[in-house]
A and B are shown apart, each in its own frame.
Chain A
Amino acid sequence: MRKHLTNHNELIGHIFLLPWILGLFGLTLFPMIASLYLSFTHYDLLTPARWAGLGNYIQLFGDPKFLKSLGVTFRFVLISVPFQLAFALLVAVVLKRNRRGVRIYRAIYYLPSLFGGSVAVAILWRRIFGKDGLVNLVLGWFGIKGVSWITTPSTALTTLIILAIWQFGSSMVIFLASLKQIPQDYYEAASIDGAGKVRQFFSITLPLLTPMVFFNVVMTIISSFQSFTPSYIVSGGTGGPLDATLLYSLYIYIKGFTQFQMGYASAMAWMLLFIIGAFTGLIFLSAKRWVFYE
């Protein structure tokens, strides 16, 4: 009877999982293996794939555009993620207490996250940081004649980084939820011992939040590496000026779907998987040193 029941559940479980398992094999595992194979070939969708061995991978490291794109992406991720999370944490701590109006404030600070990934906001950004845009209008009051921020190579990426940081709302919501779980007694006890607000933040709040910081760092890094829409819209699909906004995803798109070098694009995709894996691996390894579990 018992054995019969277990076997029965074995079947039932898989029936419920069936759509997902079909998707896992058909839409995830098979495409992954196929793209690994394609990354060792030259393929343009119309003619059969030609074996290239390690050709694509070797070519990657001699491709100045790829190296540039890699550098741009690293700068984008390594600058925007820390700022984004720092703002999220700061605002969450400030808006933690339930006083009057705080719910509306939280909603306002979250709004950019709601809209930020859209084409509409990317269009807005292009206008704000343009030659006769909003930023230069304000700078004009101070007698400063601003450049066209989005078409100047040295500033173009910064506008995208600002756009990413602006969207700190989602991480803020996660921090807010975990701040609520810290028992109030901790703060009361610390107060009695004479610890000020700043001391309380560094000795109670921050250590107790580290698991959440860890979670946010991993998730934000993974999604930042895949950022696409802003760089596409702001640069008009080119990654310009002078490849200054050529984020990794955009370059994959250009190689794979406008130049139809699909083998090359696949090699880039696998490099990206490797890079993201290395980053998350490093963060996981470092977690022992700074993540505090109660």
Chain B
Amino acid sequence: MKKRMWKNALFHILIILTGLSMVYPLLWMLRSSFSDRTKMFSSVSLWPDPIVLSNYAEGWRGLSGITFSTFFLNSFLIVLLVMAGTVFSSILAGYAFARVKFRMRGFWFTIMMGTMMLPLHVKLVPQYIVFYKLGWVNTFLPLAVPSFFGINGFFIFLFTQFMRGIPQELDEAATIDGCHHFQLFARIHVPLSVPAIITASIFAFLWTWNDFFTQMLYLSDIKKFTVALALRMFIDSQGQSSWGALFAMSILSLIPLFVMFIAFQKYLVEGITAGSIKG
């Protein structure tokens, strides 16, 4: 009995120590963001002494007169558009793949799965050229519009899997009542798919928030910058001098991710495993 307790305690201590050392860099960044410039990097401690808020004030002022309010608003706007577009296009396609029996279904589904394996680079240059000719470069359109056309197969797969799990009897009962597909979709499947809608929205949020490549490609005017782009520019322009402000803004940029994680952990796990377990 006693030996078992010791083993148990040892298990917890090991797990906690390893876990702490993994998140330690993040905690250290959090601490540094509240530290005085002179103390910032000379200590491994996780407690700022003294606690200083000036890094946040200095960071928020941003660059060239544009504050981080603008950058956060831009990021949120793009994220919201992508979330809306993703749910719209993916739930429609998911319904077709899961619920409508038609001859071409298998064919399109195979193609959809194939596109998930494509590296984005093979589409990159021509997409850029087209958006450039449309005059969309330096607007949010190249970042948001593709999501309305189901550009990411992952989300379609997510909805397809989810809607396959909705009991067939519901459709049959409703069809006898004279519902056709559009009503079935709107009245039964969309309301029942709320968990999948949440999961898809979370992933659209996380990926778009963390995206840097496409944002950098299409946005060049500082007024249009997202948080990620602003951080990049911060390092370039300030050099080594204001790590405090840079860390403070970096921490702020991670907060939305953390909030999503805390609030929707269950849905997050659903999303990560959706592609593998049920498939």
- Residues of A participating in the B interface, judged by any CB pair closer than 8 Å: 6, 9-10, 12-14, 16-24, 26-28, 30-32, 34-35, 38, 45, 94-95, 99, 101, 105, 107-109, 111-112, 114-115, 117-121, 123-124, 126-128, 132-134, 137-138, 166, 170, 173-174, 177-178, 181, 212, 215-216, 219, 222, 225-226, 228-229, 232-233, 236, 249, 252-253, 256-257, 262, 265-266, 268-270, 272-273, 276, 280
Of chain A, the residue at the smallest CB distance from B277 is: A177
- Cβ of B47 within 8 Å of any chain A Cβ, yes or no, is no
Select B126's contact among A9, A23, A34, A107, beta carbons within 8 Å: A34
Query: Among the listed stretches B61-69, B113-121, B166-174, which one makes contact with chain A, having 4 or more residues with CB under 8 Å of it?
Result: B113-121
Contact of A20 among B104, B126, B149, B236 (CB under 8 A): B149
Main secondary structure of the interface of B (DSSP, over half): helix
Q: Is the CB of A120 within 8 A of B250?
A: yes
Task: Count residues of B near A (Cβ-Cβ below 8 Å).
Answer: 85
16 additional A-B residue pairs with CB within 8 Å, beyond A16-B96, A31-B122, A99-B8? A19-B88, A20-B92, A22-B149, A24-B112, A31-B130, A35-B124, A45-B129, A45-B132, A108-B19, A120-B231, A120-B250, A178-B276, A256-B125, A269-B124, A269-B125, A276-B117
User: Is A94 a contact of B15 with CB atoms below 8 Å?
Assistant: yes
Residue contact B251 to A16, C-beta cutoff 8 Å: no
| Chain B residue, CB-CB nearest to A39 | B125
Instruction: State whether B269 touches A177 (Cβ < 8 A).
Output: yes
A257 touches B117 (CB 8 A): no
Quick one: which of B151, B257, B277 contacts A115, CB cutoff 8 A?
B257
For B105, list chain A residues within 8 Å (CB): 13
Inter-chain contacts of A276 with B (CB < 8 A): 117, 119
Distance of A276 Cα from B23 Cα, bound (Å): 32
B213 to chain A, nearest CB (A): 5
Structural contact, A178 and B277, CB atoms closer than 8 A: yes
**CB-defined interface of B203-238 with A at 8 Å, one 1/0 digit per residue?**
000100110110001000000000010011001100
Q: Would you call B60 an interface residue if the criterion is a C-beta within 8 Å of the partner chain's C-beta atoms?
A: no
- Interface of chain A, main secondary structure: helix
**Contact at A114–B257, with CB atoms within 8 Å?**
yes
A107, B15: Cα distance in complex, Å: 12
Given A31-B123, A111-B23, A177-B273, answer yes or no on A9-B44 (Cβ-Cβ < 8 Å): no
Given the known A-B contacts A34-B126, A45-B132, A115-B254, are A21 and B44 also in contact in the complex, defined by CB atoms under 8 Å?
A: no
Which candidate, B25-33, B49-57, B76-84, B193-201, is the interface stretch facing chain A? Answer: B25-33
Most buried by A among B115, B126, B228: B126
Closest A residue, CB atoms, query B207 = A117
Q: Is B89 located at the chain interface by the 8 A CB criterion?
A: yes
Residue from B22, B117, B217, B246 in contact with A112 in the complex, judged by beta carbons closer than 8 Å: B22
Known: A16-B93, A94-B15. A118 touches B253 (CB 8 A): yes
Give the distance to chain B from A137, nearest Cβ to Cβ, in Å. Answer: 6
Of all chain A residues, which has the CB nearest B148?
A: A19
Using known A-B contacts A19-B150, A118-B210, A119-B212, determine if residue A13 contacts B121 with beta carbons closer than 8 Å: no
Q: Which of B90-112 contact A (CB under 8 A)?
A: 90, 92-93, 95-97, 100-105, 108, 111-112
Known A28-B118, A226-B120, A228-B213: A19·B93 in contact at CB below 8 Å: yes
- CA distance in complex: A107, B122 (Å): 35
| B145 (CB) vs chain A CBs: closest residue | A27
Q: Determine the chain B residues whose CB is within 8 A of the CB of A138 once the complex forms.
A: 44
- Determine whether B187 belongs to the interface, using a CB cutoff of 8 Å to chain A: no
Chosen A-B contacts, 22 in total, with CB atoms closer than 8 Å, are A12-B182, A18-B92, A27-B151, A28-B118, A31-B122, A35-B122, A35-B126, A99-B8, A108-B19, A112-B23, A114-B261, A118-B253, A127-B247, A134-B41, A134-B44, A137-B44, A174-B276, A174-B277, A177-B272, A233-B235, A256-B128, A270-B122
Q: Which residues of B contact A123 (CB under 8 A)?
A: 231, 235, 246-247, 250
Query: A269 contacts which chain B residues (CB < 8 A)?
Result: 119, 121-122, 124-125
Docked Cα-Cα span, A215 to B157, in Å, equals: 15
Contacts of B125 in A (CB 8 A): 31, 34-35, 38, 256, 262, 265-266, 269
Given the interface pairs A27-B149, A101-B12, A266-B125, the reply to whether A117 lies near B181 with Cβ below 8 Å is no
Contact A28 B151 (CB under 8 A): yes
Q: Which of A94, A105, A108, A236 contacts B236 (CB 8 A)?
A: A236
Bound CA–CA A249/B122 (angstroms): 11
B149 lies within 8 A of A26 (CB): yes
6 residue pairs, one from A and one from B, having the closest CB atoms = A23-B149, A120-B250, A13-B102, A16-B96, A20-B150, A34-B126
Distance, CA A253 to CA B212, complexed state (A): 12
| Cβ–Cβ contact B213 & A253, under 8 A | yes
Decide: A268 near B121, CB < 8 A? Known: A12-B181, A174-B276, A249-B213.
Answer: yes
Q: Which of B230-279 contact A (CB under 8 A)?
A: 231-232, 235-236, 243, 246-247, 250-251, 253-254, 257-258, 261, 265, 269, 272-273, 275-277
Q: Do residues B29 and A232 form an inter-chain contact, with CB atoms below 8 A?
A: no
Contact residues in B for A266 (Cβ distance below 8 Å): 125-126
Cβ–Cβ contact A119 & B23, under 8 A = no
